[in-house]
Structure 1
Amino acid sequence: MNDLRIRAANPDDLDAVLAFWKEAAEGASISDDRAGVGRLVARDPGSLILAEFGGELVGTVIAGFDGWRCHLYRLAVHPDRRRRGIGSALLAAAEERFVELGGRRGDAMVLVRNALAHHAWRAAGYAPEPQWQRWVKPLVD
């Protein structure tokens, strides 16, 4: 994939990213709206990383760093483009970002039911930590 371009998203990308997630991402998030993604890009401009091939959006990952921990969300690759190294390229860009920011460990939010994603994350060197359980509380309805 010599023509693969990895770059940070900008405000002009929001609609394309949201449409892409409807097609390529597993499960919807309460933050999957223009306002939510817009806040992310405005607050942390390098956190939403895009993969483009021939000008087409083919993958995303959110690489958020809060100053203490590195968090990965929304790793998604277009179903027709999977198994071609796009996810690996996105994760490499995210990990490079984390190292530049001083991060030391990345964690990923991965749906329990998404077995395909489990394989991809393991192949990238990530492993589940069974001693941890995620607890959530919606802050808005």
Structure 2
Amino acid sequence: MTGAFSRSKGARGEREVVQMLKDNLGGDFNRNYKQSYEAQHGDIEQLVGPYLLEIKNCATHNFKAWWQQALAAASKRDAIPCLAYKVPRKGWRFRVPMPQAWSSGHQWGREIQYTMDLAPDGFFLLVRELS
């Protein structure tokens, strides 16, 4: 039951983020159904601007492991990783690389300590500015 509940909660989170993207950025966004049988493809089928989204709807946060998963998925699509995660009773947050660190091209620029945490409106602004 725990596995099914976890998958259901994850799918609910993905649907919430898809709706937020549609409401704030327009366009056509869908959940990525390949993820259930092929690892590291991202949770949203389309890139969001230059970002590949990895979505986590979990009460306990494991940022380091989640960030590594986002990096692996983004590298397969030559995209910039974005970790969207839900904070219980507070809402969604988006973690992306600091532009200066990412554009350096150095491996250290991919590490989690060189990321920034954004509220949804901040992330949507960033996407609009980069598009």
Classify the TM-score, shorter chain. Answer: 0.3 to 0.5
TM-score, normalising length: structure 1: 0.38
Where relative contact order (Cα < 8 A, 6+ residues apart) is larger, the structure is 1
More helix by share: 2
Task: Report the TM-score, using the length of structure 2 for normalisation.
Answer: 0.39
